[in-house]
Every structure is written in C-alpha cells, then in structure tokens.
Amino acid sequence: MLSEQGMGKTLLSIRSHLNGLTKTEQKVAKFILENAQDVIYHSVTELAERADVGETTVLRLCRKLKFHGFQDFKLSLAQDLVKPSDRLYHEVTEEDDAATLNRKVISMHIETLEQTSELVNPDQLEKAISLLYQATNISFFGVGSSGLTAQLAAHSFSRIGKNSIARSDTHFQAMSASLMRKGDVAVGLSISGSTKDTIDNLSLAKKAGAQIIVITSNARSPITKLADIVLLMVARENPLQGSSLSAKTAQLVLIDILNVGVSLKIKEEALKYREMTAKAISEKLY
C-alpha cells in the first residue's frame, strides 16, 4: 500500500471520502488504496471481482469521487502514479537526532501543504473568495485546536477591514450564529468534519440566512452537508503528535489564501486598513 506521503490527488480524494462511503464502496476504496499499481490495468469487471462487489458499486464510487466513469478514474490514477515524487518522508523514530528531526518534520509539513494544494478544488476556492469579498459580516466557528485557527482567521480578516469575529465559548458561538443574516458568511473549521458544537452552530447560522464555507479533511463528513462551499485539506498525525500541527498549518494556509484572494479584490481598501490597524498598535511596541 502506498504511504499517504506517496499518494497523488486521486488516492488522496479516496482517503478523504472514505468515512462517508457505504460498506461495499469502502471495500472497493480500500482495495484501490492497497493495490493502486495493479488497478490501472483492471477493467471494471476485474476490479469488481477482486474487491468482491458488484460493478455498479465500482461505478457509483467513481461518480462519488466526481469522475465521469471508470476509465476517467483510471486515467487520473495512472497520471498520479507516474508522477515523480520529489521527497520521501519517513516516520520520526526515537533514534533520530536533532538534525534528522529537522529534516523529517519540515518535510512532513511541506508534503501536507503540497497534498492540500492537490485536493483543493479551484472552482470552490474561487467561489469562497468571492463570497468572503461580498460578505457583510464573517464569523469563524471552531472548537479546540480549530478554535485557535478560527481566532487567527478572524484577526487576519479584521486587519483588511472585513467585519470578522470568532468566539471561543460555544454558547457565545451559538448566540452569534443565531444572529447572522442574509449577506453574512459563516466559516466552519473542523479537521474531522464531525465536531458536534461546530456543526450545530453552523446549522444555526444557515437557518438565520448566512452562507456556509467549511474547511475539513473529510469530504463526506456531516459538516459538508451544511456547506455551500467545501475546501478540503490533508490532515495526518504521527504517533508522537497529540494534535496534528501539520493539519493546523494546512488550515492556516487555506485561510491565508482566502485572505490574500479577498485582499486582491479590495487592494486599496485592504492596504488602508492594514496601515490603520498597524498604527493603532504601534504605541504598544518598544
């Protein structure tokens, strides 16, 4: 089986959809993940037989992955597999010295960002930038480590003059969500896509009339069912990580892309507000 670091866009897409597939679809998906090099030579009938499912299950999986059919899927998979890999990431071990840790951990972050770049749908990204540009108010929702990202996101959008908030308390989040209106945008951050508080608050925001953008690593998670726009990111942890900082980096980079995209649409205004906010805190510095 290919390591996650060796996966191209097609296999990453399968991995991100895995939890939302039916049991029979998961059988096909897992077979493909474990036998990718062979699958590109199979017909739909051969793959169905080897995965012990019906042909319709294979075709249904291809459609869920946004392919026109099995041949379209195979072509995409083949292109991924022949793409040369620039790096080979190895897990951190207890024997690693500081210099080795430096190379391995930084390599992991680079791979995560490159794979996130592969997963992000350009059309969805463009729509998200336009939505945030037009938004009257922007509220960021997340709890735990994603809550920290939400606060940084609100800060970055405030710096360019967009009215943005992120509440840390889930009760205050719920109240803020219920007060959102048409023209407002709620951005939900959840790596798993299954964080109950965040999903509940986005539901309140949607009911109030706001449009919803979600950033998650799970393409078929509950949070995506609420979304008008879904931005996918890669998340992984090694055994020595409590919460994945590489996933946090991927979240922050997507927020930065959105922020830069909006800034370019309001260039003069963004520069003016950056200068104003910088001046406001200038006396706080030595």
Residue span of the structural domain in which 18 resides:
4-82
60 and 150 in one domain? Answer: no
In a domain, 249, yes or no: yes
- Rounded to 5 degrees, φ, ψ at 41 are -105, -5
Least Cα distance to 66 among 14, 114, 118, 4 occurs for 14
280 and 176 in one domain? Answer: yes
In a domain, 101, yes or no: no
In a domain, 48, yes or no: yes
191 and 67 in one domain? Answer: no
| Final residue before a domain boundary, out of 82, 110, 136 | 82
Q: Give the angle subtended at the CA of 175 by the CAs of 171 and 177, to the nearest 5°.
A: 110
For residue 84, the model assigns a pLDDT of 45
158 and 48 in one domain? Answer: no
273 and 162 in one domain? Answer: yes
43 and 172 in one domain? Answer: no
144 and 57 in one domain? Answer: no
Ordered per-residue pLDDT tens for the chain, 286 residues: 444 444 568 888 898 888 889 999 999 999 999 998 888 878 888 899 999 999 999 999 999 998 988 888 988 888 777 654 444 445 677 888 899 888 888 888 888 888 888 888 999 999 999 999 999 999 999 999 899 999 999 999 999 999 999 999 999 999 999 999 999 999 999 998 989 999 999 999 999 999 999 999 888 789 999 999 999 998 765 444 445 688 889 999 999 999 999 999 998 888 888 888 888 887 777 7
174 and 36 in one domain? Answer: no
235 and 133 in one domain? Answer: yes
Q: Which residue has the tokens 């048409």?
A: 182
Determine the Cα–Cα distance for residues 51 and 31; give it in Å rounded to an integer: 6
Q: Directed axis angle between helix 70-82 and helix 9-17, to 10°?
A: 120
Output the domain CATH number for residue 230. 3.40.50.10490
In a domain, 92, yes or no: no
Left if phi > 0, otherwise alpha if psi is -120 to 50, otherwise beta: which for 20? alpha
In a domain, 111, yes or no: no
Distances (CA, A) of 29 to 33, 185, 193, 274, 276: 6, 34, 20, 47, 52
218 and 136 in one domain? Answer: yes
Output the domain CATH number for residue 53. 1.10.10.10
277 and 173 in one domain? Answer: yes
Least Cα distance to 137 among 158, 168, 167, 159 occurs for 158
In a domain, 8, yes or no: yes
In a domain, 18, yes or no: yes
| Final residue before a domain boundary, out of 82, 104, 136 | 82
Determine the Cα–Cα distance for residues 13 and 65; give it in Å rounded to an integer: 7
Per the structure, the count of domains in the chain is 2
For residue 7, the model assigns a pLDDT of 57
189 and 62 in one domain? Answer: no
In a domain, 87, yes or no: no
Paired with 230 in beta bridges are 214
